[in-house]
Amino acid sequence: MKKAVVLLSVSVLLGLIVPASVLAWPWSQDMMNQPSIKPQEGKMWPFPKRSIPVMGLSTKVANREESKELTNPILASAESIKEGRTLFRVYCAACHGLSGKADSPVSGKIGAIDLTDDYVQSNLTEGWLWGTITFGSYVMPAYGVVSASTAGSNDLTVDERWHIVNYMKNGLTSETQIAYP
Write down the domain spans for the chain. Answer: 2-33, 66-176
In this structure, are residues 170 and 126 in contact, taking their beta carbons and an 8 Å threshold?
Answer: no
- Bridge partners of 144, per DSSP, are 156
Assigned CATH topology for domain 66-176: Cytochrome Bc1 Complex; Chain D, domain 2 (1.10.760)
pTM: 0.64
Residues 77-128 have pLDDT tens digits of 999 999 999 999 999 999 999 999 998 888 888 889 999 999 999 999 999 9
